[in-house]
Structure 1
C-alpha cells in the first residue's frame, strides 16, 4: 500500500512539474513574441499612421515622425527602398501618391521618419506640410528597384541634391553600422545644395565621416557663404573625378536629386567611363538613379 502511495505521489509530482514547465515555456514564448519587431508595411494595402512630431530643418523642409501601431513594430523596408504616401487631394478627394525614402530604418522600432520639402505647387508635400500632430496619412510599400546588401560592390559613389540625400543617408548609415558584421564597402558622397541653410542631415553626415574612415562627404553650394571651403557652383566633371571612385566593375554610382541635376550627372558619369544609364534603373546597373 505504501509503495502504491509512493508511486502515485511521484506521478502527481511529475505531472505538476510538466504543467509548470509548459506554463513557463508559454510565458517565455509570449514575452519573446511581444518583443519581436513586427513589419507592418504592405505593398497591396494602405497603413494609416499618425504624425507624432514635426521638426523644421529649413524654411520649407521638415522631418516628420509617424508612429507605428505598436512600439515594437517596424516598418519592414529594405535598405535603399522607399514608401508611397497617399494624400487626399481635390474635391471630391482623390488619393495622390508620392514616393519618399525614410531616413529611419528597422533598427528603430515604433516610428518612421521622413524628410519632406514642401513645394508651393507640390500637392502631396504641401498636404504633409500642413498636417498637425495627431493627424494621419496613408503609407504603402515597400517599393523600388534598389535593395542594398552588404559588400555588393567594393565602393559606392553617390551624388545627391537637396532632399535626394535621403536614400544616400539611409544606405551610408547602414553600411557604417554594418562594419561590425564585416561590411567593407567604401562610400564617397557629393552633396549639392543652393545655400548652407539647405544642407539636410549635415550633422549626421559629418558624424558618419568622423566615425568611419571609409565614408567621405564633399559639399557643393551654388550660393556659398564667405570663407566656404567646399565646392562652388554646380557639380561638374572635375568634382566627380576628384571626390568619387574611378569607374570599375566593382564600383556603383548612385544619383538622386532634381530631374535637371540627375540628367546632368548621367552625362558626366558616361563621359567619365561609367556604363550608359538606362531610362529606368535596375539593381544590376552600374549607374543607378532613384
Structure 2
C-alpha cells in the first residue's frame, strides 16, 4: 500500500512538473514571438541608434524597434512613408524602402542619398543619433510571392536600388525560393554606386542565381570599369 501511494504521488508530481514546464515553454514562446511594429493608419516613432556615412551625400541610418525580437512587419516589395521637416520647417512625407528584412529583428535600416535641394534630404541631414523618425506603413500594391516566376529581372538607377535590393535579398535568402535574379544598375559615376559591397556579397554567396550588371556614364566607364571586379558591366 505504501508502494502504491508513493507511486501515485510520483506520477502526480511528474504530471504537475510537466504542466509547469509546458506553461513555462508556452510563456517563453509567446514572450519571444516577434511583434510587428508598423501601422498603416498611425505614425510610429523609432529612435535612431546608428548613423554611418557611406559617401559625401549618402548615409545609412539604423533605427531600433521596441524589443530585440520586434520586426518592422513590411511585406516584400512594399515600402514605408517617412515624415519630417524641410529647411523651412514645413512637414514633408516621402516613401522609402528599408534595406533590411523582417529576418533582421530588433531594428531596420535606411540607406539615404541626400540631395542639396531635397526637402526630405534636409530632414535626414539634420537627424542625429537619439532623434526619432516618424514612420507609417506598409504602403504599396506589389507583394512578392516566393516562386511566382523562374527569373526576376530588375532595373534600377541611383538610390532606386533599395527596393530592388530588398526583394533580391528576400528571394535569395529564402531556401524554398529557387528564383534567379538579374539586376541592371545604372549610375553616373563609380562612386555613385550604392550598396556595392552588399551586392557583391550576394553575387559571391549566390553564384549562378544572382547577377548584377553595372552601367556607368560613358565618359566615366573607360576610367572606372577595371575597378568593378565582381561583375561584368554593360556598355
Q: Structure 1 length as normaliser, TM-score? A: 0.71
Q: CA deviation at 1:225?
A: 5.8
Matched, 1:156 2:156: no
Unaligned runs of 5+ in 2: 227-233
Matched, 1:215 2:220: no
| RMSD, aligned α-carbons | 2.3
Q: Look up the SS of the partner of 1:224 in the other structure.
A: helix
- CA shift digits 1:148-202 (9 cap, x unpaired): 1112122221111111000111111111112x21x22222111111111110011
Q: CA deviation at 1:55?
A: 1.0
Partner of 2:120: 124
Partner of 1:282: none
Which of the residues 187, 190, 202 maps onto 1:193? 187
Q: Look up the SS of the partner of 2:178 in the other structure.
A: coil
Instruction: Tell which deviates more after alignment, 138-147 or 31-40.
Output: 31-40
Q: 1:93-108 alignment to 2 at 5 Å?
A: 95-108=91-104
In the aligned structure 2, how far is the partner of 1:98 from the partner of 1:135? 18
Q: Pick closer, same or farther for the CA change 1:229–1:88 going to 2, 3 Å.
A: closer
Q: Pick closer, same or farther for the CA change 1:228–1:121 going to 2, 3 Å.
A: closer
Q: CA deviation at 1:42?
A: 1.0
In the aligned structure 2, how far is the partner of 1:64 from the partner of 1:75? 15
Q: CA deviation at 1:105?
A: 0.4
Which of the residues 27, 45, 59 maps onto 1:30? 27
- CA shift digits 1:252-274 (9 cap, x unpaired): xxxxxxxxxxxxxxxxxxxxxxx
In the aligned structure 2, how far is the partner of 1:150 from the partner of 1:225? 36
Partner of 2:46: 49
Partner of 2:109: 113
In the aligned structure 1, how far is the partner of 2:178 from the partner of 2:101? 20
Partner of 1:288: none
Q: CA deviation at 1:228?
A: 3.2
Q: Look up the SS of the partner of 2:224 in the other structure.
A: coil
> 2:87·2:122 contact (CA, 8 Å) conserved in 1?
no
Partner of 1:280: none
Q: CA deviation at 1:127?
A: 0.5
Q: CA deviation at 1:7?
A: 7.0
Matched, 1:19 2:16: yes
Q: Structure 2 length as normaliser, TM-score? A: 0.86
